Amino acid sequence: MSDERNGQSAGRLVARGRVPIGIVSGGGGLPFAVADAAARRERRAVLFALSGCADSERVASYPHHWIGLGQVNRLCRLARQENCEDLVFIGTVVRPTVRQLRLDFGAFALLPRLVAMFRGGDDHLLSGVAAFFEQRGFRVVGAQEVAPEILVPEGALGRFQPSKGNRSDIALGLSLLHAMGPFDVGQAVIVAEGRVLAVEAAEGTDEMLAQVAELRRRGRIRSSGGVLVKAPKPGQDRRIDLPTIGPQTLAGAAHAGLAGIAVVAREVIMAEPERVTQVADRERIFIVGIRPDRIERDE
């Protein structure tokens, strides 16, 4: 993205670079990573920090407004005031209590979609949220468009590399995720020694990892090692729902006795990449960004 001032679309990009980006910010470090990436590109970022979710200490160092999860009209009004034509939705959202929601009039129609959007829900709901804000004149952009550095790059991130057996499990996992694509199921599976140990659905990645750890503890899974394979769903709206991994995912994989984690390179977001790499090296597991076309060629 260092070519923002070069090339055919330079005029448009420079103009857009002067337009502030609105970052609707949930919990975790990703909203700040996106804001910092925008700053590196000389683009002003304004955080619309979600009360009860965003880290208030860190929010204070950025231009920001606090909003309730239910304050959709307020968000639209503030974003217009700040000349934010583009909105990014990023960060985790804990299921709020009704009191925390502070619903405004616009929120009633959108509320279930908003909650689903932040928690990883149904593709149709997510597209609905994007459409809602686009009808109100905003452009919903993926965090990775503003900050491509938050995506997992190709190759191993830490000291450890997948073995030949791991690569075979990764290929199997990718094929299974691909086959399940039309069904809007989860974005992750766990494969060990050619057997599928777990398929993510409503429980989410962390719980799936915890369950495999528990089955292993009880001797219900005889194989050792294994790989967590994570990929976006084929039809997914990549602006607002790319899969994410972070230090917690690594810790969960280690606890489940896995050999490593493989994600589709440049299509999965990574929170706190330095800590991810640290935890991976300490736990002696690999974390690798793969290109599905390349891994299949190895078979």
Q: Which amino acid is at 16?
A: R
**Which residue from 19, 94, 103, 185 is in contact with a second copy, where contact means CB under 8 A?**
185
User: CA-CA distances (angstroms) from residue 109 to 57, 77, 85, 105, 132?
Assistant: 32, 17, 22, 8, 10
Using CB under 8 A as the binding rule, whether residue 21 contacts a second copy is answered as no
**Which residues in the 138-177 window bind a second copy by CB under 8 A?**
172, 175-176
Torsion angles phi and psi, residue 25, rounded to 5: -110, 120
Cα–Cα distance between 266 and 151 in angstroms, integer?
Answer: 5
Q: How far is the CB of 183 from a second copy (least distance, A)?
A: 5
**Which residues in the 208-267 window bind a second copy by CB under 8 A?**
211-212, 215, 219-222
Residue whose CB is less far from a second copy, 143 or 190:
190
Largest CA distance in the chain: 62
Using CB under 8 A as the binding rule, whether residue 268 contacts a second copy is answered as no
Q: How far is the CB of 217 from a second copy (least distance, A)?
A: 13
Q: How far is the CB of 207 from a second copy (least distance, A)?
A: 8
Torsion angles phi and psi, residue 181, rounded to 5: -45, -50
Number of residues counted as binding a second copy (CB under 8 A)? 33
Beta-bridge mates of residue 165: none
Cite the DSSP H helix spans in the chain: 10-18, 30-40, 56-59, 72-81, 98-101, 107-119, 123-135, 143-146, 164-180, 204-217, 247-255, 273-283, 292-298
Residue whose CB is less far from a second copy, 17 or 292:
292
Torsion angles phi and psi, residue 92, rounded to 5: -90, 150
Q: How far is the CB of 146 from a second copy (least distance, A)?
A: 30
Residue whose CB is less far from a second copy, 43 or 230:
230
**Which residue from 180, 209, 259, 280 is in contact with a second copy, where contact means CB under 8 A?**
180
Cα–Cα distance between 212 and 194 in angstroms, integer?
Answer: 16
Q: By the 8 A CB rule, do 111 and 128 touch?
A: no
- Binding track, positions 104-123, relative to a second copy; x by CB under 8 A: --------x---------x-
CA 3 to chain centre: 25
**Which residue from 99, 135, 164, 202 is in contact with a second copy, where contact means CB under 8 A?**
202
- Binding track, positions 66-105, relative to a second copy; x by CB under 8 A: -----------------------------x----------
Q: Which residues in this chain contact a second copy in the complex, by CB under 8 A? A: 95, 112, 122, 172, 175-176, 179-180, 182-186, 189-190, 195-204, 207, 211-212, 215, 219-222
